[in-house]
A and B are shown apart, each in its own frame.
Chain A
Amino acid sequence: MTTMSTSLTEGARDSATLLRRNLKHLVRYPSLTLTIIGMPVVFLLLFVFVFGGTMGAGLPGGSATAHPRADYLHYITPAILVMTVVSVANSTAILVAKDSTEGIIDRFRTLPIARSAPLTGHVLAAMAQTVLGLLVVLAIALALGYRSGGSLAGWAGAAGMLLLMGWAVTWLCVALGLASGSVEAASNAPMPLILLPFLSSAFVPTDSMPTGLAWIAEHQPFTPVIETLRACLEGSDPGSDAWWAIGWCVLVTVLCFRWASRLFGQVGKG
């Protein structure tokens, strides 16, 4: 075995060890997971039952339909799935900040382990939580009457898109958590990430927005992600949206992984 593959194996082993630590945290602190998954569930119920009747009628061709609420449920389910992913990532910023304001991060930094292992442990735990959250939210959407026209391949594509996006926004939140310096700041730092989906095609079609805003909405990363999800779940071809979505996710992952790793090396250098 070469040195390179030894260190890769050890890095994976250390990440797995730290993943187990973070999963134990999640199991012992269930109210956190409940809050995280509760947010998109509340959004789903709010948007369907409170706004859905009116919003559904405003969708293209909506006034002609007899079931505006059901149509709106169909329209926003992909958006709510995206909100679920963002909600989990958001909490990761807090968990990372909590680690880095406590002595434990210095302990990890004085161990002969891969520099990225503690961070990768957080990201992997967040991915496990993301899968759980997506299943819960999807089950509720199905219970409310959501039906997908997607094939098995479409569902696989949607799952892949959500996980890829989860990977990207979680690395972003890990970096934000390290950069924020306190748990309080970390809980606010990813706020734009929660708001950004509202300025996309998530809840209303972008062509219903004023021109400037529509331009922003069409060019920000959440729109191609959500359009890709919609296409996959409806059984149509996402076309160039998929490439834009994948490109954004890879770019954010690479930049934020490097940013987070650099910050981790500097924690406490003050």
Chain B
Amino acid sequence: MTVNDTAIEVSGITKSYGDQPVLRSLDLTVPAGTVYALLGPNGAGKTTTVRILSTLVSADAGEARVAGFDVRTAPDGVRRAIGVTGQFSAIDELLTGRENLRLMADLAHLRASEAGARVDELLARFGLAEAADRRAATYSGGMKRRLDLAMTLVSRPRVIFLDEPTTGLDPRSRRDLWQIVRELVADGVTILLTTQYLEEADRLADTVGLLDGGRLVAEGTPAELKARAGGETLDDVFLALTGHAATTTDDNETETLR
């Protein structure tokens, strides 16, 4: 495999907040055009991993390259290649859906004609055409999340980070979002998503990494992991490999980051 085929390459990333270690020498590789799911409870270090890879936070040690750019020395190269949809809504609620998308198109320096077309295309694709000229504050949770993701896609990023993209969504909105992820991958985009939902990792990911206490405790295709742990579901895998269920959580990470 050549370097060009690797979208994300992480080696030995370590990060602490105060004396609280969040990531302990994390290594992972995501081939271009695949979906990698980081699965783990709150506090496992998932969000921190995404924040380091998306240039929001710097690691204490280790190296990370995204789309061939070093996150530390070439953050603007990384930023030109990525799109990020975080755990917390990153839309502007005082603007309409259309204006939110147009804002992103303008910041991506699309030409005016191109920007208008791109905005219309995304509004239609994400089922927001009818609500396009309403303020985002009036949108439902599912619509806000779709707008959030649409904003991320305006600049046609090659690598997309989705931090718990379906947390708090109803089952139908969750399935809609999964469908969008599948379409993105069909277009050749690389996706790193984090999730606490085993079903989500199982359905979407080519590779699943089980993150626990800042370490990758297992990695493989969902089928490989199930075979290794002799379980029926990824739930069983998580329990077998970490000694506790994926949903046994503490909220340390979320709180630290807020």
**Which residues of A are at the interface with B, using a C-beta cutoff of 8 A?**
10, 13-14, 17-18, 21, 24-25, 28-29, 102-104, 106-113, 268-270
Contacts and interface: CB of A to CB of B under 8 A. Distances in A.
Contacts, number: 67
A13 B56 contact: no
B176 interface: no
A24 to B, nearest CB: 6
Given A113-B107, A270-B17, A104 B90 contact: yes
A212 to B, nearest CB: 43
Contacts of A25: 94
A102 B86 CA distance: 11
Interface stretch (B77-85, B177-185, B186-194): B77-85
A62 to B, nearest CB: 48
Given A110-B55, A111-B107, A29 B80 contact: no
Nearest to B87: A103
Interface string B80-120: 10111011111110110001000100111100000000000
B94 A106 contact: no
Given A24-B99, A104-B90, A270-B258, 17 more contacts: A10-B109, A21-B95, A24-B94, A28-B135, A106-B84, A106-B88, A107-B151, A110-B55, A110-B82, A110-B83, A111-B108, A112-B76, A268-B56, A269-B57, A270-B17, A270-B256, A270-B257
Interface of B: 17, 51, 54-58, 76, 79-80, 82-84, 86-92, 94-95, 99, 103, 106-109, 135, 148, 151, 256-258
B92 A104 contact: yes
5 contacts: A24-B99, A103-B87, A106-B88, A109-B55, A112-B76
Majority SS at the chain A contact face: helix
A106 B90 contact: yes
Nearest to A269: B57
A269 B46 CA distance: 15
A3 B245 CA distance: 53
B167 to A, nearest CB: 13
Contacts of A17: 103, 106-107
A112 B99 contact: no
B103 A21 contact: yes
A18 B106 CA distance: 9
B88 A102 contact: yes
Contacts of B57: 268-269
A102 B90 contact: yes
A102 B89 contact: yes
A104 B256 contact: no
A107 B83 CA distance: 9
Nearest to A118: B107
Contacts of B87: 103
Contact of B95 (A24, A110, A269): A24
A111 B83 CA distance: 8
Contact of B84 (A14, A21, A110, A112): A110
Contacts of B108: 111
A14 B110 CA distance: 12
A24 B87 CA distance: 26
Contacts of B135: 28
B88 A107 contact: no
A28 B58 CA distance: 37
